[in-house]
Amino acid sequence: MFNYDKYLRTDKLPHIWCTGCGCGIVLKSMLRAIERSKIPQDDIAVVSGIGCSSRTPGYLDFNTLHTTHGRAIAFATGLKLAKQKLKVIVVTGDGDATAIGGNHFIHAARRNLDMTVVIYNNYIYGMTGGQVSPTTPAGKRGSTAPYGNVEPAFDISRLAIAAGAPFVARSTCYHAVQLDKYICRGIKKKGFSVIEVLSPCPTYYARPNRLGNVVDMMEWYKNNSLQIEVARHTPEEEKKDKITIGILHDTERPEFCEVYQQLSAQAKKKYVE
Amino acid sequence: MLRSIEQWQHLDDTSFVSIIYTMVVKARKFKVTIDKNWCKGCLLCVALCPKNVLAMQRNKAYVADAEACTGCQLCEIYCPDFAISVSKISEKNDE
Amino acid sequence: MTNKPNAKLMTGNEACAEAALVAGMRFFAGYPITPSTEIAELLSRRLPQLDGTFIQMEDEIASMAAIIGASLAGVKSMTATSGPGFSLMQENIGYAAMAEVPCVIVNVQRGGPSTGLPTLPSQGDVMQARWGTHGDHPVIVVAPSTVRETYDWTIKAFNFAEKYRVPVILLLDEIVAHISEKIVYPKDEEFELVSRKITEKDPASYLPYENTDSDIPPFAEFGVGYRYHVTGLSHDETGFPTNNPEKVDKLNRRLNRKIERYRSEIIHYEESFLDEADICVVAYGSAARSAYRAASDARKLGYKVGIFHIFVLWPFPYEALSQIARRVKFFIAPEMNLGQIAHEISCAIKREVIKVNRVDGGLITPNEILEKIKNVQL
């Protein structure tokens, strides 16, 4: 029913993602959110780093920029500041955003630069063949953790909140319809908005960890997620290993471009006199 | 569908309800089309369709029970590969 | 640029910042690092006055990324750093070369390697400026030796970047950056400014990386309806990734041909007293200052010594040097490194080069060069 072709570079399809990969689901949700936000196509820039999810812009009919690993947010910072009319959407993965790109992620959140960051969190490095990432749960297997991941994982959403992002939402590919709403809210929000999406990687996360196929993963998301509204009244013990989803954080903070413009206006006035 | 409000004023409750019911049921005809080339057989649409409209055949999804489709579009939402789309069949171009 | 005095005492860093504004630079992203920080400080004050944008990023990698983003939005952009930061920028400099994004990177060289001598000069990054990032890639590297030359060459750096759609590296060192010299303020009109060629095609037929006969694809900025794709992956004319060997070969050869075929327009050096010289001193950057003094002292003592002063290090002036080598026998190369450019000179002249090297953080003095001149067995 939804007309995806309007936003797609259809000649580039079918895409490269594996069977059951969540990237296609998140991409579709993003397009529905963009439609809902009514922002003109010419004003949208989609910036990505390196990794499976970062191939998304190639398929989208916007101003698209596929940058270096981890640096999408830094490229997007320059793009946004130089042309503030642009609505900048950064598409990145858990490794791209929080491993090599972690420094740029927390600083852009601290600055509260107006951009929407959609993080496809599939718990693993997919493109390079299943190495563990900063979000791979401890004990889980990856090609670089054959005996089980030694390291505990980041909670990306809490990391974003702690760094200062005023809008942080989390969803999963199972909760795709909710995801539309969060991405749209993030796009409309004036400030640094983060939408973390738990996305299945059947090839490199599910298989080495014997978690079944993508349907089993969806089942897992369904049974292990907890709406934030419910989670608020759930005793700690019960929600210990559940994933809270929903709009986890939504406040107002002065947005970087606006503050910078005000300062520049004063500086310019004084200079011209 | 609701061409104009006036035509409904004179009706009493029961007939009003029955008209709404027939309209919704009759109009509720949807077509699910599947692109065999793009379908990778990931099973998502089959598993998540609430009305078991879809099934697998030689590792590709196909429409097993078209009548049951309620047009909820979950298959289209969950298909990662743009291989399935749901369209409304209005009375005029009914096959 | 409203009321400007006609002369001013200025450091190299100040000249670089002011000249960048004259060149039309309106976006600077940088990170503090001695000895280049004054450029950032000055621009953080000046850019808001001119509707420009300054941002101090979280590291040099981010700074380089941000200026590429800004340039794609159609704004002339620049960053400034020193050795350690320059090393961090390399991957994204390569991206700018691959995606053909005009931008200027100022590297105020300091003692290396590693943290080295933060407050002392060196010329140890000249090879890194050419080959710092991986793969065969186009880049232009320019090196002024005085405050006034820094002013002129900052503007030329932007013109090169815009004209050839490449990253241009402006190599200063701690001396050129921090020395104060009187500069007779050139009027803005004195400078011919170049901006990137904008496509005349409509969005439907626009090819962001079209193989035009000039080898330089016309540009379209983000957000004005072209909605094209930019990537660091090898790509074809449409801008989309490809592994097709023929297309990849075509791209890589065009990217590098962009500089090679316009060598004569880019290369710049100044010769003095080389007509009947026995000895040619080849120098660049702050070492050239000592070279001129040493040569004039030597001439007073009766030695026939000339100077070959290089302003554009890459592309390197091999041809000019090999011409001179026909009539001048001895070549001396003073460098504050262990002979990085001397190597290139000997390739050009097919002869050994007499090296005068210092890697102790000190400027090569005229006398050190003069001694070498005296020791030459004519």
Q: Do C73 and A47 touch (CB under 8 A)?
A: no
Structure tokens at C66: 């941000």
Contacts of A82 in chain C (CB under 8 A): 26-27, 53, 69-71, 73-75, 77
Best C4, C58, C75, C77 residue to mutate vs chain A (most A CBs within 10 Å):
C58
For chain A, which residues lie within 8 Å of any Cβ of chain B, measuring from their own Cβ?
1-2, 4, 8, 13-15, 17-25, 28-29, 173, 176-177, 202, 213-215, 218
Contacts of B86 in chain A (CB under 8 A): 1
Average pLDDT of every residue of chain A = 97
Give the SS3 label for residue A248.
strand
User: With an 8 Å Cβ cutoff, is C228 touching chain A?
Assistant: yes
Q: Do B77 and A28 touch (CB under 8 A)?
A: yes
- HSE-CB at C244 with a 13 A cutoff on CA atoms is 10
Facing residue for C58 by CB, picked from A61, A79, A104: A104
User: With an 8 Å Cβ cutoff, is C66 touching chain A?
Assistant: yes
Structure tokens at C96: 């700018």
Facing residue for C69 by CB, picked from A76, A107, A260: A76
Contacts of A263 in chain C (CB under 8 A): 48
- Its pTM stands at 0.94
Q: Do C222 and A63 touch (CB under 8 A)?
A: yes
Q: Higher confidence at residue B10 or residue A119?
A: A119
Q: Do B43 and A14 touch (CB under 8 A)?
A: no
User: With an 8 Å Cβ cutoff, is C65 touching chain A?
Assistant: yes
d(CA B32, CA B71): 8
The tens digit of pLDDT for each residue in C211-240 reads: 999 999 999 999 999 999 999 999 999 999
- Phi (first) and psi of residue C83, to 5 degrees: -40, -65
Q: What ipTM score was computed for the predicted complex, to two decimals? A: 0.92
Asked if C274 and C332 count as a contact pair (C-beta separation under 8 A), the reply is: no
* Average pLDDT rounded to a whole number, residues B25-44: 87
Chain A closest CA to C39's CA: distance in Å?
Answer: 18
Q: Which fold has domain C7-190?
A: Rossmann fold (3.40.50)
User: With an 8 Å Cβ cutoff, is B89 touching chain A?
Assistant: no
A85: confidence class by pLDDT, cuts 50, 70, 90 = very high
Contacts of C75 in chain A (CB under 8 A): 82-83
Asked if C30 and C57 count as a contact pair (C-beta separation under 8 A), the reply is: yes
Query: Chain A: residue nearest C92 by CA?
Result: A68
The tens digit of pLDDT for each residue in C331-375 reads: 999 999 999 999 999 999 999 999 999 999 999 999 999 999 999
Contacts of A22 in chain B (CB under 8 A): 80
Strands A87-93 vs A115-121: parallel, antiparallel or unpaired: parallel
Classify burial at C242, counting beta carbons within 10 Å of its beta carbon; exposed 0-12, middle 13-18, buried 19 or more: middle
| pLDDT higher than threshold 80 for residue C115 | yes
User: With an 8 Å Cβ cutoff, is B29 touching chain A?
Assistant: no
Q: Do B80 and A4 touch (CB under 8 A)?
A: no
| Domain range C270-375, CATH class | alpha beta
- Give the model's pLDDT for residue C188: 77
At least 3 CB pairs under 8 A between chains A and B: yes
| pLDDT higher than threshold 70 for residue C283 | yes
Chain B closest CA to A63's CA: distance in Å?
Answer: 22
d(CA A76, CA A107): 13
What crossing angle do the helices spanning A72-82 and C60-72 adopt, rounded to 10°? 50
Torsion angle of C-alpha atoms C209, C212, C216, C221, degrees rounded to 10: -50
DSSP letters along C276-324, please?
T-SEEEEE-THHHHHHHHHHHHHHHTT--EEEEEESEEES--HHHHHHH
Go through C295-312 and write b for each residue having 16 or more CB atoms within 10 A of its CB, e for each that does not: bebbeeeebbbbbbbbbb
| pLDDT higher than threshold 50 for residue C129 | yes
User: With an 8 Å Cβ cutoff, is C42 touching chain A?
Assistant: no
Q: Classify C225 in phi/psi space as left (phi over 0), alpha (psi -120 to 50) or beta.
A: left
Q: Do A58 and C227 touch (CB under 8 A)?
A: no
The tens digit of pLDDT for each residue in A233-243 reads: 999 999 888 99
Structure tokens at C290: 């000592």
Give domain limits for chain C. Answer: 7-190, 270-375
CA A35 centroid distance within chain: 18
Contacts of C57 in chain A (CB under 8 A): 74, 77, 107
| pLDDT higher than threshold 80 for residue C1 | no
- HSE-CB at B71 with a 13 A cutoff on CA atoms is 14
Query: Chain A: residue nearest C2 by CA?
Result: A272
Q: Do B73 and A1 touch (CB under 8 A)?
A: yes
Chain A closest CA to B14's CA: distance in Å?
Answer: 33
Contacts of C61 in chain A (CB under 8 A): 71, 74
Q: Do C65 and A75 touch (CB under 8 A)?
A: yes
Asked if A62 and A45 count as a contact pair (C-beta separation under 8 A), the reply is: yes
**Sequence letter at residue B19:** I
Q: Higher confidence at residue A85 or residue B6?
A: A85
Beta strands in C166-275 (DSSP E): 167-173, 180-184, 229-231, 269-272
User: With an 8 Å Cβ cutoff, is B55 touching chain A?
Assistant: no
B25: confidence class by pLDDT, cuts 50, 70, 90 = low
Asked if C279 and C320 count as a contact pair (C-beta separation under 8 A), the reply is: no
Helix (H) or strand (E) holding C105: strand C103-111
Q: Do C57 and A81 touch (CB under 8 A)?
A: no
- Give the model's pLDDT for residue B22: 53
Q: Tokens 């089942």 map to which residue?
A: A219
Q: Which domain holds residue A73?
A: 4-272
Q: Do A1 and B78 touch (CB under 8 A)?
A: no
Cβ contacts of A135 within 8 Å, gap of 6 or more? A94, A95, A98, A121, A123, A153, A154, A156
- Give the model's pLDDT for residue B94: 47
d(CA B47, CA B61): 11
Chain A closest CA to C378's CA: distance in Å?
Answer: 55
Asked if A2 and B76 count as a contact pair (C-beta separation under 8 A), the reply is: yes
Q: Do C241 and A83 touch (CB under 8 A)?
A: no
Beta strands in chain B (DSSP E): 30-34, 54-57, 60-63, 84-88
| pLDDT higher than threshold 90 for residue B3 | no
| pLDDT higher than threshold 60 for residue B1 | no
Domain count, chain A: 1
The tens digit of pLDDT for each residue in A214-226 reads: 999 999 999 999 9
Contacts of C223 in chain A (CB under 8 A): 42-43, 45, 63, 83, 85-86
What crossing angle do the helices spanning A72-82 and A102-111 adopt, rounded to 10°? 30
Contacts of A76 in chain C (CB under 8 A): 69
The tens digit of pLDDT for each residue in A14-27 reads: 999 999 999 999 99
Beta strands in chain A (DSSP E): 44-48, 63-66, 87-93, 115-121, 124-125, 131-132, 167-172, 192-198, 225-227, 243-250
Best B32, B48, B81, B86 residue to mutate vs chain A (most A CBs within 10 Å):
B81
| pLDDT higher than threshold 80 for residue C326 | yes
Strands A225-227 vs A243-250: parallel, antiparallel or unpaired: parallel
The tens digit of pLDDT for each residue in C167-204 reads: 999 999 999 999 999 998 778 788 899 999 999 999 99
CATH number of the structural domain spanning residue A127: 3.40.50.970
Classify burial at C9, counting beta carbons within 10 Å of its beta carbon; exposed 0-12, middle 13-18, buried 19 or more: exposed
The tens digit of pLDDT for each residue in B51-70 reads: 999 999 999 999 999 999 99
